[in-house]
Amino acid sequence: VAGVLDGIKVVELGLFAVGPWASKHLGAMGADVIKVESPDGEPSHMIPPYIHGTAALYISANLNKRHIVLDLKDDADRETALKLIDDADVFIENMRPGAVARLGLGYEVVSARNPRIVFASASAYGSTGPMSTYAGADPFVQAFCGWCSTTGAPGTEGELLRYMAHLDLTTGSVLTEAVLLALVARGRTGLGQRVEVDMLTAGLTIQTTRLAEYFMTGVQPAPAGSAATTTAPNQAFACSDGRYVAVGVETDERWQALCLALGIGDVADDARFVKNESRVANRAELIAILEPVFRAKPATWWTQTLTDHRVPNSRILETDWIRMHPQVTANELLVEVDTPHWGRIVVDGPPWRFGGTPLAPQHAGGLKGEHTTDVLGERVPAHAAVTS
């Protein structure tokens, strides 16, 4: 089984989630990915929880790869790393800015030997500017980039997303994007190039719409519970059984459908609510009308009725439920993978489908250095001869 990136070779010197997640994507697309670690291992090995003694973060972020160990402070091993990269299409690293160059694997060195290399770096705050030397981690970038300031209960100053990975994985995703775009450019120019992304910029990127509201008005979009800023009604409503239903009305047609579903046809053509712009302007009055209607019946009634009227809706699904949800199983969004070291584990399915070059099933990577002998024997026979 091939995959869309069949034949593309990737060498990754990644730490924690960002760099590894990018090469995990490329591996899922069929690239041949080699993860290089120092003899001590990368720091994600230290992050709990563990599965059979291996950090689950390490397992999750390093699917679809082969794992080797090289001591990059040792001349022979560094030369081996360079030989691996000579033969590669993509090199990914997310050490602090400048660190990879100090190891003798900087862009100038690498590209002089392999001008076709796409040399991709990710950092916390970018390679220039007063914060370029800061170590970054997901919650710090969350706090800094403004992301928390639009999330939370009304009246608060915003809260952290306690799943401390969304900005890490977004940065990894933007890194994958950059690598693939540079590979497209290489198809035209014949040359690789250096590309950089950073967590701060990625964190701003996925706030594009909220920041645009701020840029256009000068007004901070405040934490608003479950409510959207520029459409209404677009929030969760409490039902008679104490459960909540998330309801999203983003067009005037859906507003009409919602009123039918709720049995409040007389409100549908009320001039205060007939257009989205007026519903947003008169949001408080609008919600005051809708809340008692939702509170009169249980969530089950509303999800059925709203779905019958094609009004976007869902309960707030409980975690355990999600794996069994028919929409999740039908699209194989969460899948179980048999692994050599950790039993059968749940992993995320790939976020894309390729009609012409179907993806191979994902596979567990391995333990630190598990494939060193195999990979070096195959790619750098001279090294294997020296060390065996």
Residue 129, interface with another protein (CB under 8 A)?
A: yes
**39, 225, 263, 381: residue in contact with another protein (rule CB under 8 A):** 225
Q: How far is the CB of 14 from another protein (least distance, A)?
A: 14
Residue 102 or 310 having the CB closest to another protein: 310
Q: Is 327 in the site for another protein (CB under 8 A)?
A: yes
In the bound state with another protein, the residue whose beta carbon lies nearer, of 11 and 29, is: 29
Query: In one letter, which amino acid is 209?
Result: T
User: Distance between CA 161 and CA 145 in Å, rounded?
Assistant: 13
Among 40, 76, 102, 189, binds another protein (CB under 8 A): 189
Kindly tell me the burial class for residue 338, based on how many C-beta atoms sit within 10 Å of its own C-beta (0-12, 13-18, 19 or more): exposed
- Is position 365 an interface residue for another protein (rule: CB under 8 A)? no
The secondary structure of 228-239 as a DSSP string is -SSSSSEEEEE-
Residue 344: C-alpha distances to residues 51, 319, 337 (Å): 11, 19, 5
291 binds another protein (CB under 8 A): no
Nearest CB to another protein, comparing residues 70 and 91? 91
Q: Which of 323, 340, 381, 382 binds another protein (CB under 8 A)?
A: 323
Shorter beta-carbon distance to another protein: residue 207 or 372:
207
Assign 208 to helix, strand or coil.
helix
Taking the complex as a whole, the smallest distance from the CB of residue 95 to another protein amounts, in Å, to 15
Q: Measured from the CB atom, is 49 or 292 closer to another protein?
A: 49
Cα(137)–Cα(47) distance, integer angstroms = 13
Q: Looking at 77, 138, 168, 198, which residue is catalytic?
A: 168
Residues 238-267 interacting with another protein (rule: CB under 8 A) = 238, 244, 246-248, 250-252, 254
Distances (CA, A) of 151 to 159, 196, 283: 6, 28, 19
168 is catalytic: yes
Cα-Cα-Cα-Cα torsion 235, 314, 209, 278, nearest 10 degrees, comes to -40
Q: What CA–CA distance (Å, rounded) separates 15 from 44? A: 7
One-character DSSP codes across 63-96: TT-EEEE--TTSHHHHHHHHHHHHT-SEEEE-SS
Site for another protein in 197-216 (CB under 8 A): 197, 200-202, 204-216
Minimum Å gap between C-beta 282 and another protein is: 9
Member of 1, 112, 271, 330 binding another protein (CB under 8 A) = 330
| 8 A C-beta contact, residue 39 and residue 71 | yes
- Chosen residue from 34, 199, 347, 380 binding another protein by CB under 8 A: 347
Q: How far apart are CA 385 and CA 345, in angstroms?
A: 37
For another protein, the binding residues in 130-159 under the rule CB under 8 A are: 130-131, 134-137, 139-140, 142-153, 156-159
Select from 252, 83, 248, 225 the least CA-distant residue to 155: 225
Nearer to another protein, 273 or 375 (CB): 273
- Say if CB 198 and CB 171 are below 8 A apart: yes
Residue 106 dihedral angles phi and psi, to the nearest 5°: -70, 170
Does residue number 234 form part of the binding site for another protein (CB under 8 A)? yes
Q: Which residues inside 18-37 make contact with another protein, applying CB under 8 A? A: 25, 29
Supply the minimum distance, in Å, between the C-beta of residue 312 and another protein. 4
Q: Which of residues 37-76 bind another protein (CB under 8 A)?
A: 47-53, 56-57, 59-61
Nearer to another protein by C-beta: 153 or 386? 153
x/- letters, 87..126, toward another protein (CB under 8 A): --------------------------------------xx
> Which of residues 346 and 382 has its CB atom nearest to another protein in the complex?
346
The yes or no reply on residue 303 touching another protein (CB under 8 A) is no
Can residue 229 be called a binding residue for another protein (CB under 8 A)? yes
Q: Cβ-count burial of 128 within 10 angstroms (0-12 exposed, 13-18 middle, 19+ buried)? A: exposed
For 90, the token pair is 């993509």
CB of 166 to another protein, least distance (A): 6
Q: How far apart are CA 255 and CA 283, in angstroms?
A: 13
Q: Which residues are catalytically annotated?
A: 168
